[in-house]
Amino acid sequence: MDAAEWDARYVQSELVWGAPPNNTVVEFVHGLDRRVPRLPGPDGEVPELPRALDLACGEGRNALWLGTHGWQVRAVDFSQVGIDKGRTVATRLSRSIRERITWQCADVTEADVDLGGPYELVLMVFLHLLPAERRQMVRRAAAMLTPGGMLLVLGHDSSNPERGHGGPQDSAILFTPQDVVADLGDDSGIEVDTARQILRPTESGDAIDALVVATKPAP
């Protein structure tokens, strides 16, 4: 789907994905802000808050949760409608939380898009790309991590159309945990902590997701 198609989908209801964050994101990220070291950014300054990048943030549910839990967040998506809906939800929060979130409408697959960085956390949650684009995005995300930082990749598993429920049916954009590990390769400089399938309850039954969590070793 392109940006116009996602704009049309997001405009149909208040929140397509609901307001709460993804449960797997919460499980693996909760408390990370207290564990990960904060190192100087490009300006040489040590940030007051840990920094997170939410790639293909949609309507911003994970970015908003991060903002309320002490993260400075850049939330990026190519759907302007999705970005605007995230901003609207943020207006219901305190000013201090709103100011922690930077909203950016951009196609994250374009090499010339400035995604900032470095980050203590990078999320790639339900960002489905063709294999070559996915590999480039995964490796770019890994390169933006600070020492001690975490990359979390989560999406519909390749087995979901046959054995699970919901999600895209195009096998070309689905992936397995092993696909993401292979995308990272041996020279990415980060270590894979978790690579497995997980079940996600839906109204129709359990969906099968692919999860990879990796960290960049701290010195």
What percent of the chain clears pLDDT 70, i.e. is strictly above it? 91
The alpha carbon of residue 203 and the mean position of all alpha carbons in its chain are separated, in whole angstroms, by: 23
Query: Mean pLDDT, to the nearest integer, of 113-131?
Result: 96
* Nearest Cα to Cα of residue 103 among 57, 161, 156: 57
pLDDT recorded at residue 13:
56
Q: What is the pTM of this model?
A: 0.91
Query: Mean pLDDT, to the nearest integer, of 94-107?
Result: 95
- Distance separating alpha carbons of residues 9 and 77, to the nearest angstrom: 14
Neighbouring CB atoms inside 10 A of 151's CB total: 27
pLDDT band at 8 (very low <50, low <70, confident <90, very high): low
CA atoms lying within 13 Å on the CB side of residue 55: 31
Helix (H) and strand (E) counts in the chain: 9, 7
pLDDT recorded at residue 164:
93
Q: Which two structure tokens, joined as six digits, stand for 201? A: 């309850």
Each residue's pLDDT tens digit, 45-92: 888 899 999 999 999 999 999 999 999 999 999 999 999 989 998 998
Each residue's pLDDT tens digit, 158-196: 999 999 998 889 999 999 999 999 999 998 889 999 999
Neighbouring CB atoms inside 10 A of 204's CB total: 9
Asked if 79 and 10 touch (Cβ cutoff 8 Å), the reply is yes
Query: What is the DSSP secondary structure assignment for residue 155, as one 8-state letter?
Result: E
pLDDT recorded at residue 5:
63
The CATH class of 3-11+48-215 is: alpha beta
pLDDT recorded at residue 183:
97
Q: Is the peptide bond before 42 cis (omega within 30 degrees of 0)?
A: no
Supply the mean pLDDT for the chain: 90
Phi, psi dihedrals of residue 195, rounded to the nearest 5°? -150, 100
- Distance separating alpha carbons of residues 162 and 164, to the nearest angstrom: 6
Residue ranges of alpha helices (H) inside the chain are 3-10, 23-29, 32-35, 61-68, 80-90, 95-98, 131-143, 160-163, 177-184
